[in-house]
Structure 1
Amino acid sequence: MANACAPQPSIWAAVWRSFGALPAWVKIWMVVILAPVNLASLAFLDRPSGAWIAALAIGGMALSWIALFYSRGFSKLVSAGHVFPWTPLVLLLIFARPEAAGAYGVYLTVLLVIDLISLAFDYNDARLWLRGDRTAVI
C-alpha cells in the first residue's frame, strides 16, 4: 500500500515520465513534425496574416501545455487544447488564405496539412475526455 504522505514527483518529472510512456510514433510526431511546424509560424510574422497565424498556431500549443500541467501528464485534455485555436486556423487557411508565394506559400500548405491531421486525432480525444476518459498516460 502506498504511503499517502509520500511526496509527489515534481510536475516536470510527472510530465517527462508521461511523455516517455507515449508510443514512439506519437513522440516522433510531436517532436519532429507537429511542434516544429507550428513554431515555424514565428518566422513569418511579417507576412500577410502572419501574426494571426502564429497566434493561433502557438495558441494551440500553449493551451495544450496548460492542459498537460493540469493533468500532470498526457491526457485526452492535452489534445483538446489544439481544438479551439487550430480549428479557426485551419478554416482561415482553407477559406481566407492570405496571399502567399514562395516559402510562405509552401509553409501555409504544410501547416494546413499537419494541423488537419492533428485535429483528426484531437477531436476524438476531446470527445473521449468529455465522456470521462480523464486518465493521464504514466
Structure 2
Amino acid sequence: MLRDIWISFRNLPAWVQIWMSVVLVPANLVPLAFLDQPYGTLIAGLAILGMALNLPIMMAERGMSRAMALPHLLFWTPMVLIIVYVLNTHTDLLPIYAQFLLVLLVVDLISLGFDLRDAILWNKNRKRQ
C-alpha cells in the first residue's frame, strides 16, 4: 500500500510534488512551534487535522485522490478565519509569529483554492458512478 501511495505521489506533476513537499506540508507543521502563542494550539490542531485525515483517504484510495481536498476544506477554512481574527485583534503578537501567520494564511488560501476545485470534481465524479 505504501508503495502505491508513493507511486501515486510521484505521478503527480512535478510542481504539485514540490508544492506539497516544500511548501504545504512544512508550513502546516510549523504551527507546532507556536503552541504557546495566542490561538497557537487551535491553529496547530486545525493545521495537523487537515493533513492527518488525508492518511485514511490515501490508504483507502491506495494513492492520491481529489477526496484529499475534503479535510483541508473542513479544517483549514476555519483556521484561516481564526488567523485573520488573530492578526486583526492581537496587536502584541511576537513579530515572528505574526509573520508566520501571514505565510500560513497565504499558503492555505492558495491550497483552499485548489481544494475547492478538487472537491467539486471529486463530487461530480462520485455522482456519475
So what's the TM-score if we normalise by structure 2? 0.90
Supply the distance in 1 between the matched residues of 2:105 and 2:74 (Cα, whole angstroms): 15
- Structure 2 equivalent of residue 78 of structure 1: 68
Give identity over the alignment, percent.
47
Equivalent position to 2:115, from 98, 102, 122: 122
Tell whether 2:13 aligns with 1:20. Answer: no
Q: Which runs of 5+ in 1 are unaligned?
A: 1-10
Q: How does 1:55-70 map to 2 (within 5 A)?
A: 55-70=45-60
Alignment partner, residue 95 of structure 1: 85
Match of 1:112 in 2: 105
Bigger mean CA deviation after superposition, 69-78 or 92-101: 92-101
Whether the 8 Å CA contact 2:38–2:86 is kept in 1: the answer is no
Distance 2:107 2:9 in 1: 20
Q: Distance in 2 between matches of 1:107 and 1:96?
A: 12
Shift of 1:92: 1.1
For the residue of structure 1 that corresponds to 2:38, the secondary structure is: coil
Equivalenced residues, count = 124
Tell me the C-alpha RMSD between the 2 structures.
1.5
Equivalent residues of 1:76, 1:133 under 8 A apart = no
The offset of 1:63, in angstroms, is: 1.4
Is contact 1:38–1:57 with CA below 8 Å preserved after alignment? yes
Counterpart AA for 1:95: Y
Change (3 A) 1:133 1:32: farther
Larger Rg: 1
Deviation string for 1:100-134 (max 9, x for gaps)? 23110000000000000000000110111111169
Query: What are the Cα deviations for residues 43-100 of structure 1, in whole angstroms up to 9, with x where unaligned?
Result: 0001111000000001100112221112111110012221100000011112344622
Could you list the structure 1 runs, at least 4 aligned residues long, displaced by more than 6 angstroms after superposition. none
AA paired with 1:102? P
SS in 1 for 2:53: helix
| Structure (1 or 2) with the greater helix fraction | 2
Match for residue 6 of structure 1? Answer: none
